[in-house]
């Protein structure tokens, strides 16, 4: 049986690109989605059109019980889970003084608690296998900060810290845990930004161009591969030089 990868939030954007890229490396891909079954199934069809295997699975990652059921389904169906990519995320941007407590909690719950829920539930399977790759999608703003995104920034800075802690806990079991931090990537989330803001962002990028979802997918594919077997606890920045930490 081929190796199995789970990608959360994989119905669009970076998650979709990651799912497609991992399928090229021979993985059977579980395309997790929260609400849009049509888009998730479209990703599955794209993968199947390339003679690879995939299935879509609806699960709210912020719900621990739903995540537990998803991982049980994967175990019962495939008997293994080799790579997990925690990509599911939302934004609810506004200035701190206008941010309702629920807006903060919602973003933390999906972006950070969701990753925790998935990692906790997959750990036992990977520990028994004495092998695994956990890759969390962070963000450049987790290192830089960003006005109007206190909730999102906190969630992504939390992802970086979570990555380091879990990497230390699971290293002895031959499980690597890393993060990929995208910079300004063209996606549904960035399409809503006005042209003036995009121009200002472009001026801050030494490579003078925005990234593509495929750029992130390539970094994920590398971390999932045997070539990255000695890399763990790291946050890999993919941002055109916008942040050099």
Is-contact 67 109, C-beta < 8 A? no
How far apart are the C-alpha atoms of 166 and 123, rounded to whole Å? 10
Region class of 158: left (phi > 0), else alpha (psi between -120 and 50), else beta: alpha
User: Any idea how long the chain is?
Assistant: 245
Check 27, 57, 78, 152 and give the catalytic one.
152
Closest C-alpha to 165, from 130, 116, 122, 121: 116
Contacts of residue 200, Cβ cutoff 8 Å, sequence gap at least 6: none
How far apart are the C-alpha atoms of 112 and 4, rounded to whole Å? 23
Question: For 236, phi and psi rounded to 5 degrees?
Answer: -90, 120
Secondary structure class of 8 (helix, strand, coil)? coil
Tokens matching residue 157 = 């800075």
State yes or no: is 27 an active-site residue: no
> Considering just the CA atoms, what is the radius of gyration of the chain in Å?
17
How far apart are the C-alpha atoms of 162 and 114, rounded to whole Å? 12
Q: Which residues are catalytic?
A: 152
């Amino acid at each position: 049986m081929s190796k199995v990868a789970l990608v959360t939030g994989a119905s669009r954007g970076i998650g979709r690109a990651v799912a497609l890229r991992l399928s090229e490396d021979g993985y059977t891909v579980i395309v997790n989605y929260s609400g849009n079954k049509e888009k998730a199934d479209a990703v599955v069809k794209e993968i199947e059109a390339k003679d690879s295997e995939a299935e879509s699975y609806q699960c709210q990652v912020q719900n621990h019980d739903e995540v537990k059921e998803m991982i049980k389904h994967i175990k019962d169906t495939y008997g293994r889970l080799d790579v997990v990519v925690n990509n599911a995320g939302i934004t609810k941007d506004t200035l701190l003084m206008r941010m309702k407590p629920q807006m903060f909690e919602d973003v933390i719950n999906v972006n950070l608690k969701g990753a925790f829920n998935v990692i906790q539930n997959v750990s036992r399977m990977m520990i028994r296998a004495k092998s695994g790759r956990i890759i969390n999608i962070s963000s450049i703003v987790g290192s830089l900060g960003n006005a109007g995104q206190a909730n999102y920034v906190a969630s992504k800075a939390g992802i970086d810290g979570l990555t380091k802690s879990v990497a230390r806990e699971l290293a002895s079991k031959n499980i690597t845990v890393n993060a990929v931090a995208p910079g300004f990537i063209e996606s549904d989330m960035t399409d809503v930004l006005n042209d003036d803001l995009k121009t200002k962002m472009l001026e801050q990028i030494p490579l003078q161009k925005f990234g593509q979802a495929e750029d992130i997918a390539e970094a994920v594919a590398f971390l999932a591969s045997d070539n990255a077997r000695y890399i763990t606890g790291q946050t890999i920045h993919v941002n055109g030089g916008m942040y050099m930490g």
